[in-house]
Structure 1
Amino acid sequence: MTQTASTSQAIALLRVTSGALLLTHGLIKLLVFTPAGTAGFFESISFPGILAYPVMAGEIGLGLALILGFMTRWAALAALPIMIGAIVPHAANGFTFSNTGGGWEYPVFWAIALAVQAMLGDGAYAIGNPLKQKV
């Protein structure tokens, strides 16, 4: 399969956008809702409060990795459980995210976008995988 320059840039746009959104959500949990408040929210939706901490760390760390294009495939795959977990509290609210409490459409779309990113790889302007041997 041949990639054009615009294809590589489109892949990078998906990567950077997904990373920026993950980073934003993680920083909101950390700085606005606070770790304790986020843990309390997780408990209020029947998740263990302790899960708030790896979710915040994952959103921040994996968001930065995606923005930089660092091990993109692995970062996108590692973010999938976070998005799948985000579907659970929204499942009973219906499809549309504008429904009260937010429906499941947005986290499902985001999970699919991350799966697509994992399949596509880095795109343009990426650090790449320094652990991968150059041939």
Structure 2
Amino acid sequence: MNEDRNTAYAALLLRLVLGGLFLAHFSLKFFVFTPAGTAHFFTSLGLPGWMAYLTMTAEFFGGIALILGVYARLVAVALTPILLGAIVTVHAHAGFFFTNPNGGWEFPALWIVGLLVLALIGDGKFALKPTLQNK
């Protein structure tokens, strides 16, 4: 295998994992905490409650777009502010390690790096709607 082919498969794997993580976080907010409970948590952080619904919508549709490879590079960039917001509002005060009480910023920061790597290397193999057409 050549490097370009390896990169395309690496991007596919990264897309699937990142998309799965976003769907898992959406599911936690929707099915466990409930949308109303998530909105209440957002307001307890000093954020408007409607941002919870916006976040859940972005996590759901963004996760699906990443998994399917629909403009994955753009979606990866668009989802980054959600994780930056999570770091600033929740995790930064808990320190670095995610095992700290209230979870540190280690995991969301790594997740951001994964999104940025995907944005840089491309949509990967089997993307339904690549961000850029290959020439």
TM > 0.5 fold call: yes
1:20-71 CA distance string (max 9 Å, x none)? 0001101221121111000011111222211000100000000000000110
Q: Which moved more, 1:61-70 or 1:119-128?
A: 119-128
Aligned counterpart, 1:69? 69
Q: TM-score, normalised by structure 2?
A: 0.91
Give SS of 1:4's match: helix
How much does 1:5 deviate?
2.3
Q: Distance in 1 between matches of 2:82 and 2:108?
A: 9
How many correspondences in the alignment? Answer: 133
Listed as ranges, the matches of 1:27-106 within 5 Å are 27-88=27-88, 89-106=90-107
Structure 1 portions without partners, runs of 5+: none
Aligned counterpart, 2:9? 9
Q: Distance in 1 between matches of 2:129 and 2:3?
A: 17
1:118 alignment partner AA: A
CA-based RMSD of the aligned residues comes to 1.7
Matched, 1:118 2:119: yes
Structure 2 portions without partners, runs of 5+: none
Q: Distance in 1 between matches of 2:130 and 2:8?
A: 16
- Deviating beyond 3 angstroms after TM superposition, the runs of 4 or more aligned structure 1 residues are 132-135
Q: Distance in 2 between matches of 1:65 and 1:115?
A: 16
Give SS of 2:20's match: helix
How much does 1:134 deviate?
7.5
Q: TM-score, normalised by structure 1?
A: 0.91
2:127 alignment partner AA: A
Q: Alignment identity in percent? A: 47
